Amino acid sequence: MTLRARLSNNEILCAPGVYDALTSKLAKDAGFEALYLSGAAVAYTRLGRPDIGLTSVTEMAETMALIRDRVDLPVIIDADNGFGNALNAQRTMRLYERAGANALQIEDQSYPKRCGHLSDKTLISAAAMAGKIRAMADVRASEETLIIARTDAIAVEGYHAAIDRAELYIESGADVLFIEAPEDEAQLSATAVHFAGCVPLLANMVEGGATPIKSASHLEALGFSIVIFPGGIVRALARAAEDYYASLKTHGTNAPFANRMFDFNALNDRLETPAMLAAGKLYGAD
């Protein structure tokens, strides 16, 4: 089933954040139907830096290609602001599609761009963003590749301006709407009511962010079609890694931490090492 077809289902699509092939494999094994390749998560893990626009289009496309080589689930990928003007946005579409992305999320931030839940964001004009959406639609290789239009206007111009921008983005060809960082339940609900029956709506759940955390089932009841948890996996692993390194430094052994980690065989089971080695023998590979 394509991502577009899946979104015609009334059941909300929950897409966890991933940042590499391993997290994608583990998310698939957990039973998720789609993944979200987070620009923030790539910045956190590949660069060890905050989400302030430092990742490049090539780094994201390379990561997407490695994920596609490992899993076959639909992937929504963060396209930031298209990494430049409308022509850059077209190049981003071409690169991401070739890498195997199924949906591109593009936002209306200007430079310096930053995480949608950080302060002091700036925006391009609504007309410029609409042009980027049209430009991306003109060059996509497949109509099954979705364009998710995100507006960060709530924090900059206010809630009603965000709604106005979102309406223009629909007119320009957006397949899905993502109104970033609603400040309370009332704004979440009002957004769902305003756009009911227009296009699918995406909600972003960021632990400690500007939007109150809601469950997938709650968001589905409001009228949202997609919910992403983009950076949760990095926050979980960073906490585990900090504890792991502290334990190893203190004890000089992993023994005290053993019940919180896979051993060699357990990790290889999850990587499907035995099956891959067996497959290799079919071709006479060592």
Q: What is the pLDDT of residue 191?
A: 97
Q: What is the pLDDT of residue 26?
A: 98
Q: Which residues of the chain have pLDDT under 50?
A: none
- Give CA separation, 188 vs 13, 122, 198, 208, in Å: 17, 22, 16, 17
82 & 181 share domain: yes
99 & 206 share domain: yes
Could you tell me the residue range of the domain that residue 104 belongs to? Answer: 3-231
Number of independent structural domains in the chain = 2
Q: What is the pLDDT of residue 111?
A: 80
Q: What is the pLDDT of residue 250?
A: 98
178 & 47 share domain: yes
175 & 244 share domain: no
φ/ψ of residue 46, rounded to 5: -80, -35
193 & 223 share domain: yes
Q: What is the pLDDT of residue 285?
A: 63
147 & 246 share domain: no
222 & 242 share domain: no
Q: Are 201 and 195 in contact (CB under 8 A)?
A: yes
Q: What is the pLDDT of residue 118?
A: 64
85 & 115 share domain: yes
53 & 169 share domain: yes
> Looking at residue 65, which CATH number applies to its domain?
3.20.20.60
97 & 202 share domain: yes
Q: What is the pLDDT of residue 113?
A: 78
80 & 186 share domain: yes
Looking at the chain, the number of H-run helices and the number of E-run strands are 13, 8
Q: What is the pLDDT of residue 286?
A: 64
57-70 vs 86-99: helix crossing angle, rounded to 10: 20
194 & 276 share domain: no
